[in-house]
Copies of this chain bind each other. A is one copy, B any other.
Amino acid sequence: MQGNMMDVQLTVPTILERIRTQYAGREVVSLLVAGRDEQGNPVPHKHRTTYGQVADRARRLAGGLLGLGLTKGDRVATLAVNSFRHLEAYLGVPSAGLVLHTVNIRLHPEQIAWILNHAEDRVLLIENVFAAMIPAIKAACPHLEHILVLGPTPQPIPLPGVRDYDTFVQESEPLTRYPELDERDAAAMCYTSGTTGNPKGVVYTHRSTVLHSLASAPKDGLNVGEADTVLPIVPMFHVNAWGLPYTCAMYGAKQVYAGVFADGRSVATLLQDEAVTITAGVPTIWMGLLAELDRAAQAGQPYGLGGLERLIVGGSAAPEAMIRAFQTRHGLSLLQAWGMTETHPLGTASGVPYGVDPSSDEGFALRAKQGRTVPLIELDVLDDQGARLPHDGKTMGRLIIRGPWVASSYFKGEGQSNFFDLDGQLWFDTGDIATLDERGYMHIQDRAKDLIKSGGEWISSVDLENAIMAHPAVNLCAVIAMDDPKWDERPLAVVTPKPGQSVTHDELISFIAPRFAKWWLPDATVLTDSIPIGATGKILKRELRDQYRSYSSTQGLVTPAAPDRSE
């Protein structure tokens, strides 16, 4: 028997209509680039607008794009920083039945062109600071018919098909009647970071966008409401900024965007001046913020962050030491969240269960895990033969996931082997190695490809890294496998010390030894000036492995030349 409820579709225009009709007065604040100082550093200008104006401009953008002849399902790319204009595209593009394709601005121009071509984007919205790339992009991307430049440009743009975004929006008629949309229609797409092979496209639907917003908003997730002010430092080209622009709009929270200003001082100042209650970013950002908060506190001029309730950390694992440092030194609560481009992204959040003190040792240990699922997401761990493993908090296995905002395939059917059937249900293989415990806590041990296999047993590089990074002299650490004639692989720690500090292998090993089995401990430590970081802020372990694979513990502790940064 079917029920008799209305078949109302879950679509992005319902979010746009909400800010227009219920939250029109709520603010959107953006740090834009006003110019450059004498050192060539960008100078910020604070821009304020409202949801009412954003909604009006988003509807004009939608009307304008359809006026260009775009039809349902056509892709509109953005190469843009976090700002109100990007938010307008988030809301306006899908509401026109088009697909918002956010491109990572940190990629090499050749990769950007490859992705624009692969997605067959017909329109590109490009931030003025990247305008110099336009001729090369135009030359490389035959599908691109129109380019709109976000923000003021120094002079008129003489290229055909290139025009000013603000003028385009102002001169377009607003779309007042949205096209009929099926909730399974495409709304947005992102490409995976592609640390191996070509990037792959993940196409989000209207349904997945709305469900993700609903499921991530409550208390034990992002905890977003109308009274909140949210600063997503996570870039808007990165998995829809973890869905925050949509979630905040749905619930009427004020949004603050930092644009290119993600350094510790800029972030701390923005958090304070806009009375931010919730912010979100990768661990690197919070390391920068922590250093700035420490500096200010030691200088006797602490920032006023009394209203800051929650710092969401994701993208890669937050070390327990960092979570403790924020809590104990600044009274600030970090909430770890986990997801992937393929999962829209929210899969888990690491609040403590009822009855556990978040600031107890058990609390901190749980908060350093990836956490428990948000509603409608299922996780499991499998062995190499594809059999389900026990959820005992100890047994490591390949982490698999399913849910209504998890990809069922990549764009154009690529990467099929990541999607598979288990007991009649479709699952996605995350490529992570993890444990699950009796209460559902998931703890990522490693990327499958980064796992160290020593004498047939698995060693988690992530656990060792987090432990080593808790040492006061360590800035950053990567633990990788080096070849070993006896054990096949053995762990090697690659460490950058804090400025002006040093540390020995023996000191590090004594520091972490109480927490690990003896055979887990790295055989050697390499001190280096820098560790290569990729475009999404993750350590490029592949490069480190290439460099140190044949390193031997018999070489002892040495400081080789810093490896090249590959960006």
Of A185, A354, A428, chain B has the most CB atoms within 10 Å of the CB of: A354
A375–B73 alpha-carbon span in the complex (Å) = 25
Q: Does A99 contact B (CB under 8 A)?
A: yes
Point out the residues of chain B lying under 8 angstroms from A228, CB to CB. 219
Q: How far is the CB of A62 from chain B (nearest CB, A)?
A: 17
Is the CB–CB distance between B403 and A8 below 8 Å? yes
Point out the residues of chain B lying under 8 angstroms from A4, CB to CB. 202-203, 407-411
Given contacts A214-B375, A220-B226, A251-B220, contact A186 B3 (CB under 8 A): yes
Q: How far is the CB of A341 from chain B (nearest CB, A)?
A: 12
Of A186, A220, A408, chain B has the most CB atoms within 10 Å of the CB of: A220
Is the CB–CB distance between A354 and B226 below 8 Å? yes
Of A3, A10, A373, chain B has the most CB atoms within 10 Å of the CB of: A3
Q: Mark A152-186, 1 if CB is under 8 A from B, else 0.
A: 00000000000000000000000000000010111
Q: Does A372 contact B (CB under 8 A)?
A: yes
> In chain B, what residue has the closest Cβ to A228?
B219
The copy count of this chain in the complex is: 2
Of A26, A202, A375, chain B has the most CB atoms within 10 Å of the CB of: A375
Point out the residues of chain B lying under 8 angstroms from A210, CB to CB. 376
Is the CB–CB distance between B219 and A3 below 8 Å? no
Interface residues of A in 1-37 (CB under 8 A from B): 1-10, 14-15, 17-18, 21-26
Interface residues of A in 334-392 (CB under 8 A from B): 344, 351, 353-355, 372-373, 375-376, 378, 391
Instruction: Give the size range of A's interface with the partner.
Output: 35 or more
Given contacts A202-B4, A403-B6, A408-B6, contact A14 B376 (CB under 8 A): yes
A202–B354 alpha-carbon span in the complex (Å) = 36
Q: Does A217 contact B (CB under 8 A)?
A: yes
Q: Mark A290-302, 1 if CB is under 8 A from B, else 0.
A: 0000000000000
Point out the residues of chain B lying under 8 angstroms from A186, CB to CB. 1-3
Point out the residues of chain B lying under 8 angstroms from A26, CB to CB. 354
Q: Does A257 contact B (CB under 8 A)?
A: no
Q: Does A106 contact B (CB under 8 A)?
A: no
Q: Does A227 contact B (CB under 8 A)?
A: yes
Inter-chain pairs besides A214-B215, A220-B252, 17 sampled, C-beta below 8 Å: A2-B186, A3-B185, A3-B208, A4-B203, A6-B407, A10-B211, A10-B376, A14-B375, A18-B373, A22-B440, A25-B355, A210-B376, A211-B214, A220-B225, A220-B226, A226-B354, A227-B354
